[in-house]
Amino acid sequence: MKSIEVKKVLNNNVLIAEHPRYQEVIIIGKGIGFNRKKGEVISAESVEKLFVLKSGNEQENYKKLLPLIEEPILSVIIEAIDLITQRVEGDLNEHIHVGLTDHLTATIHRINEGITIRNPFLNETKTLYPFEFNIAKEVVGLIYKKTGISLPEAETGFITLHIHSAITNKQISEINQYSQLISSLTGVIEEQLEISIDKASIDYMRLVRHLRFAIERVLLEEKVEEPEKISALLQKEYPVCYNLAWKLIKIMQNVLKKPVFDAEAVYLTMHLQRLQRNN
């Protein structure tokens, strides 16, 4: 049976160990460091359900965070990441231990200081990532139950992005760029069609998801086939929506720095026409 040797206990929940496969690692788990001694040997099987930071860079960043976090806060964050792990199929990117820990620590500090947390892309986030958003709500509930600290819905949105980042191996900055782009496109639609879109409506949900998948197709350079003759028909029947679709496509091209296939205008025009009709 392979074993792991404790090199240093950082606190009750974190220790540095020598792993038979990964060499030096940080092992994270509630109570894993309690009463452990340097040189103590623990079974590799006993840490299967714990978190092992293998990346040297992530280890260093995590060690820098630890002195800044009070033990009860660190403990509940570890529980929160464990909850996320249970809800998600497959492995999470290990950066979530650094990224989400750092984020939640800063957020809790801001709340204790009475600073209001705002999230300009909350509606887009809820619509784009409903699975992750529901997990984030559980995380917020857990933090309140364990600490009495109530995190606002704006913060649920930010936690959602960290979860999505860990699932997809995408940078938070990249995910934020797409949310910002969709928010910008939605604003242009409202202005050009002179409507106010209900952010809780099914039409808004369909639009946002269509824009999300359109962005992903552009980034993957995935060609969309254009229905025969429908482009000319839409241009004739719905000129305002058709021209707006092309305006939106130009914005996407400028932001994403990639070409957008003409067929996207066809499908986007249909969504815009439905929005215009329903509003």
For the chain, the domains span 1-54, 55-170, 187-278
Work out the mean pLDDT of the chain and round it to a whole number: 89
Measured at the CA of 50, the angle between CA 45 and CA 54, to 5 degrees, comes to 95
Measured at the CA of 260, the angle between CA 252 and CA 253, to 5 degrees, comes to 30
- pLDDT tens string 35-90: 888 888 887 666 766 788 888 888 899 999 998 899 899 999 999 999 999 999 98
CATH architecture entry for 55-170: Orthogonal Bundle (1.10)
How many Å apart are CA 104 and CA 100, to the nearest integer?
A: 6
Taking 90 as the threshold, does the pLDDT of residue 203 lie above it?
no
If you compute the radius of gyration of the chain from its CA atoms, what whole number of angstroms results? 23
Phi, psi of 99 (to 5 degrees): -60, -50
- pLDDT tens string 163-186: 999 999 999 988 888 899 999 999
SS3 at position 55: coil
Tokens of 269: 């025009």
How many Å apart are CA 191 and CA 215, to the nearest integer?
A: 21
CATH architecture entry for 187-278: Orthogonal Bundle (1.10)
Predicted confidence band of residue 27 (pLDDT cuts 50, 70, 90)? confident
Length of the chain: 279
In single-letter form, the type of residue at position 263 comes to A
**Beta 23-28 vs 41-43: how paired, if at all?**
unpaired
- pLDDT tens string 233-262: 888 899 999 999 999 999 999 999 998 888
Instruction: Provide CATH code, domain 1-54.
Output: 2.30.24.10
pLDDT: which is higher, 141 or 20: 141
Domains 55-170 and 187-278 belong to one CATH topology? yes
Among 201, 182, 200, which residue's Cα sits nearest to residue 274? 201
Phi, psi of 51 (to 5 degrees): -105, 130
Predicted confidence band of residue 102 (pLDDT cuts 50, 70, 90)? very high
What pLDDT does residue 125 have? 93
What pLDDT does residue 269 have? 92
